[in-house]
Amino acid sequence: MKLAVTPRQRAARRAGFTLLEVLVVVAILVILAGVGVVATTRYLEDARKSKAQLACQGLVQAIGNYIDNPANTDRSPPTGPGDLLRPPFGGTGYLKNGEQDMYDPWGQQYQFEQIQQADGSQGYVVFTYAKDGTNTPISNFGIGPASRK
């Protein structure tokens, strides 16, 4: 003998989600998460490059302060980044965060070299290379092709 199924009992059986519906929702969430991770990674790398350029500009300013220091009687430029931490003529270092300011966001030490400017005076370029797979040059002048003057 078969009992009749009431509409209420039928509705109770269909109250949950099917496995296929759950899998579709999970697949959509995975795709959205993947897109978010890729976009976030790109923005983080762009932020590191901007931070490196600002640090290069700060190091050029520190080099200028080193040269203009009254204790530097012969106005000699620093011979290396270490001179900005411990000037040979005495006094305190020129980097706010000490040795930490000598390294780029990828852990490489900044490099600098003296250059001849368009007006004939001596200037400096402080530079590094992004270690994000592109090896993009970064200096106090800019990022990429604009990094060299």
How much is the pTM? 0.73
- Report the percent of the chain where pLDDT is more than 70: 92
* Closest to 61 (Cα-Cα) out of 72, 73, 69: 69
Task: Give per-residue pLDDT as tens, 60-115.
Answer: 999 999 988 888 888 888 887 788 988 888 888 888 888 899 999 999 999 988 88
pLDDT in the model for residue 56: 93
Spans of all domains in the chain: 20-147
* Closest to 139 (Cα-Cα) out of 42, 55, 44: 55
In the chain, where do the E strands start and end? 111-116, 122-129, 137-139, 142-143
How far apart CA 85 and CA 136 sit, in angstroms, is 27
How far apart CA 19 and CA 130 sit, in angstroms, is 46
How far apart CA 66 and CA 88 sit, in angstroms, is 10
- Report the percent of the chain where pLDDT is more than 90: 42
Mean pLDDT of 18-40: 94
